[in-house]
Amino acid sequence: MGRFVLDKVSKSFGDAQVIPPLDLTIEDGEFTVFVGPSGCGKSTLLRLIAGLEDVTSGTVNIDGKEMTDVPPAKRGLSMVFQSYALYPHMSVRKNIAFPLRMAKMDKAEIKKRVEDAASVLNLTDYLDRRPGQLSGGQRQRVAIGRAIVREPSAFLFDEPLSNLDAALRVGMRLEISEMHKRLATTMIYVTHDQVEAMTMADKIVVLQAGVIEQVGSPLELYRSPRNTFVAGFIGSPKMNLLKGAEAEKHGATTIGIRPEHISISHESGMWEGVVGVSEHLGSDSFFHVQCDAFEHPLTVRATGEVELNYGAKIFLTPDLAHLHKFDADGLRL
């Protein structure tokens, strides 16, 4: 079990209110990702759920029980920290066993659980090493091992992959997703990387300055962002947000069109522009095109290996079915 209900939860540090009152429900078994730019309060929100910070007002409910003033140890949650927070003077075995020892579990049972976790996480050969002798990826696994042995009602992840290199990050992303499918336990995951959010989440919570901008499945957020902030934050490369006369033609202050919803033509099209920098990834090519109609260059995606010279004149046509319209307050029309 692991159903979280936050009711009008707010947090202030002194006079600075970092999280204005917000409501949020996380269903049992859901993989929820808090995503937002740095300093948006996503880690603070996670720490409020964990109990590492006290809420200034509001209530936190876990599985129907009021947990607002319950200390972190009694909430039945596990947390994986950005720095992994392994205990440097203990072996991997003792690190993983620590929560079980604190729970005064039977020695044989501890041994069994630790070894099971180690074999799942490919740590069996490293059980007697110290964290200092492990690589970044292995330390990450130990931290996850320490989290899973307790069989918590929910896992909390605080930017767990940001200290790993790119290749390892993709691998660990997959492993965490698989772990979620296997355990079917609630997971709350904090990240600033929208790719992690899109690939892993059942539900994404987009935060900005402590305010929830939108909650929804990755594709809901992709298809219908509620405002310009979410539109610009979700999706890679970013959505083109365009203002001016072209936007007014569509009856909006701002229009948004994703790079993958623009087609390129050498002969004719809606907007004429000049090709700037090109980025070739093999599977896709991205072009930065400066159009006369807009102040900023547009990003355009073409599938496969497409060659366009720097300075070439081309025409762009947006797919109107995927055009997003926003009003003067940045809200979706």
Partner 1 sequence: MATQHSRSAACMMMAPAVVLLLGWMLVPLIMTLFFSFKKYLPLRGDSLSDGLEWVGFLNYERFISSGSFWPSVQTTLIIVLSVLIITVTLGVLLALLLDQPMWGQGVVRILVIAPFFVMPTVSALVWKNMFMDPINGILAHLWKFFGAEPVLWLSEASLPSIIIIVSWQWLPFATLILLTAIQSLDSEQLEASEIDGAPKLKRFWHIILPHLSRSITIVILIQTIFVLAVFAEIFVTTGGAFGTKTLTYLIFQRVLDSQNIGLGSAGGVYAIILANIVAIFLMRIVGKNLDA
CA dihedral 18, 23, 26, 27 (to 10 degrees): 170
Tell me if 196 sits within 8 A of 33, measured CB to CB: yes
- For 2, 33, 170, 293, the CA distances from 195, given in Å and listed in that order, are 25, 11, 10, 31
Distance of CA 62 to the CA centre of its chain: 22
Greatest alpha-carbon span in the chain: 76
Task: With contacts defined by CB under 8 A, name the span among 66-74, 191-199, 200-208, 253-261 that binds partner 1.
Answer: 66-74
Angle at 182 between CA 179 and CA 188, to 5 degrees: 50
> Which lies closer to partner 1 via its Cβ, residue 99 or residue 225?
99
Least distance in angstroms from the C-beta of 88 to partner 1: 8
Q: What is the DSSP letter of 131?
A: G
- For 58, 142, 156, the CA distances from 131, given in Å and listed in that order, are 39, 8, 21
87 binds partner 1 (CB under 8 A): yes
CA–CA gap between residue 90 and residue 268 (Å, rounded)? 68
Task: With contacts defined by CB under 8 A, name the span among 94-102, 213-221, 239-247, 261-269 that binds partner 1.
Answer: 94-102
Query: Which residue shows structure tokens 């009856």?
Result: 251
Please, which residues have CB within 8 angstroms of residue 54's CB and are 6 or more apart in sequence?
48, 69
| Footprint of partner 1 on 35-64 (CB under 8 A) | 50-52
DSSP string, 281-328: -SSEEEEEEEETT-SSPEEEEEES-----TT-EEEEEE-GGG-EEE-T
Task: With contacts defined by CB under 8 A, name the span among 16-24, 69-77, 168-176, 184-192 that binds partner 1.
Answer: 69-77
* Length of the chain measured in residues: 333
- Joined together, the tokens standing for residue 249 give 């033609």
Least distance in angstroms from the C-beta of 48 to partner 1: 13
Task: With contacts defined by CB under 8 A, name the span among 70-78, 177-185, 257-265, 293-301 that binds partner 1.
Answer: 70-78
Residue from 18, 85, 209, 306 touching partner 1 (CB under 8 A): that is 85
Task: With contacts defined by CB under 8 A, name the span among 10-18, 67-75, 198-206, 208-216 that binds partner 1.
Answer: 67-75
13 binds partner 1 (CB under 8 A): no
Residue from 67, 77, 118, 264 touching partner 1 (CB under 8 A): that is 77
> Which lies closer to partner 1 via its Cβ, residue 81 or residue 222?
81
69 binds partner 1 (CB under 8 A): no
> Which lies closer to partner 1 via its Cβ, residue 103 or residue 219?
103
> Which lies closer to partner 1 via its Cβ, residue 157 or residue 326?
157
End-to-end CA distance of the chain: 38
> Which lies closer to partner 1 via its Cβ, residue 94 or residue 238?
94
> Which lies closer to partner 1 via its Cβ, residue 40 or residue 79?
79
Least distance in angstroms from the C-beta of 129 to partner 1: 12
CA–CA gap between residue 80 and residue 102 (Å, rounded)? 17
| Per-residue binder mask for partner 1 (CB under 8 A), 146-175, x = binder | x---x-------------------------
103 binds partner 1 (CB under 8 A): yes
